[in-house]
Amino acid sequence: MKTVQRTWLLALPSGALMALVLAALQASALGALLAPHHLRAQVTYDRILRSADEPENWLTYNGTYMSQRYSGLTQITAANVGDLESKWVLQNQVFGAWQSNPIVVDGIMYMTQRPNDVMAMDPVTGRVFWVYRHRPDENATVCCGANNRGVAILGDKVFMGTLDARLIALDAINGRPIWDIEVADVNLAYSITMAPLVVKDKVIVGVGGGEYGIRGFIAAYDADTGEEAWRFWTIPGPGEPGHETWEGDDWEHGGASVWVTGSYDADLNLTYWGVGNPGPDWNPGQRPGDNLYSDAVVALNADTGELVWYFQFTPNDGYDYDSVQVPVLVDIEWNGVPRRLMLWANRNGYFYVLDRVTGEFLTGTPFVKVNWSSGLEETGRPIPTPQPAGSPTWPGNQGGTNWYPPSFSPSTGLFYFSAWEDYATIYRPAEAVYTPGRAFLGGGFDVLTPVPGAPGVGIGRTTPINNWTDAVGHGTVIAMDPRTGEARWKFEQFDVSDAGMLTTATDLLFTGGREGHFHALDARTGELLWKASLGGQIVMAPITYMVDGRQYVSVISGHTLVTFGLREGANP
């Protein structure tokens, strides 16, 4: 089936006459040449590098290359957060959990909606300027919903990965496609669900499809032409370091997908990416060895894609503990010495601190109940304690946390993330046979705990608790002190949470829950300061931005984007 793309100009920016003239000019090469420079979105690499200096914008998936999801905006405070009110809402045209992250650039919001649309909007009113629609190939296959988590921008181009494993560059002014390239073979169940990361003149993406026996990789493409600049295979081939951690031809279909956006340290010129689980998912005996670089973070040279270091969190993972969590980069004192660190709350239930220059393991502590491992060695390697057949494993298949973005506040010095506590799974390994484009899972699992909304159909099913009275799963926001590995405070939720975090310079923490409540907490104490009931599960992190001197906070609830601002007359 031929892929079809369309761009719809739904509305025009304010100043109708000028907008019409500009639209006409843009229709020709001469018009593009003559268009006033300030009317064309120009986002240079230098601006992204210094994005913390312009907190009125949200220029990348995680706000900055450090991925702290911390904003320097100060208009909304603990004193006036109670005056927040809804300013506008926008509904996704495709029903389902909307996981996109908007970016905001000089008064224009860009975001994706399911399955593969890109929209340019007015961030003050929600008015849509244009929509680009990509219709994925009919053979596109994804394991966990037709989700796209956002776009990247560089110069006057907006970039989106697609469910049929393509990368597309659009004109940021009118949404027209500039180039459209194949990243991987859709017929082998490759996909792209993550927001790209722009570094210098390159657009970097990873591929999904770990549940279908792909061989994962991360690749960089020239932002002007779409030409591939480099590719790093997350499963090393014959003759490459790490290949010995696979047996026979297991490496050919070993998964290790990359489906959450990475981070970047410009001084080191290293880009960091979390890698997903090996395949088949739940039968580690079918693929003996550590299975590098699955369940690891890899540090790559941003110019060449060369591996500089790696750290593996869960060797020979048999629990689906993808390590695709966001690498959060911080510069703080460690034992009295300034260090460049990486903070990582892992799906396997441990919180890690690594030296991001060398990959050295500094500390690791469990933040939820863990029984698949009895602890960590001095190197950070886990000491495995696999449970007997039919017995529960903590944390369960969804993990102690998952892909939803955490936050670090330089103001409080704390690391914030959502956790699933007291949640376990009983695994049922089985031999899997690889068939191109088909699920390659190695068995299944039973969800032990009565977590509302936990997977209960298909490859997983809900099982009664029986005698495991401590297996009552619930969601918690944890404020972690990275220096001690201890929780400074916890905010308990009625349901589990898939929500990410946002912190601000006024010591506010914005997050949500699966039950649809959007919270503003005191980032120092965890006190609930304000909440709004939005009606749908929150499965993404909020963002904040400022236009014409007014600060806004946007969050997705269910399939609706809701934007808040202070009510008229409120004290800023």
User: What length does the chain have?
Assistant: 572
Write the pLDDT tens digit of every residue in 386-403.
Answer: 999 999 999 999 999 999
- Domains of the chain, by residue range, sit at 4-565
Closest CA to 12 of 136, 162, 173: 173
How far, in Å, CA of 241 to CA of 192, rounded? Answer: 26
For 182-201, what is each residue's pLDDT tens digit?
999 999 999 999 999 999 99
Residue 166 pLDDT level (bands cut at 50, 70, 90): very high
pLDDT over 60 at 327, yes or no: yes
E strands along 225-295, which residues? 228-233, 263-265, 270-274
Q: Which residues of 177-196 are buried (b: 16+ CB within 10 A; e: fewer)?
A: ebbbeebbebebbbbbbbbb
Instruction: Look at residue 514 in the predicted model and tell me its pLDDT.
Output: 84
* Tokens coding 455: 């997977």
The mean pLDDT value for 445-462 works out to 48
Hey, which residues are catalytic here?
A: 320
**147 falls in which pLDDT band (50, 70, 90)?**
confident
Sorting pLDDT into bands at 50, 70 and 90, what band is 9?
A: low
211 with 143: CB under 8 angstroms?
yes
Fold of 4-565: Methanol Dehydrogenase; Chain A (2.140.10)
Pick from 266, 294, 297: nearest CA to 359: 297
pLDDT value at residue 24:
40
For residue 259, give the nearest of 329, 343, 192, 212 by alpha carbon: 192
β pairing state of 460-462 and 128-135: unpaired
Place of tokens 């939720």: 493
Average pLDDT over residues 549-564: 96
Using the predicted structure, report yes or no on whether residue 38 has a pLDDT greater than 70: no
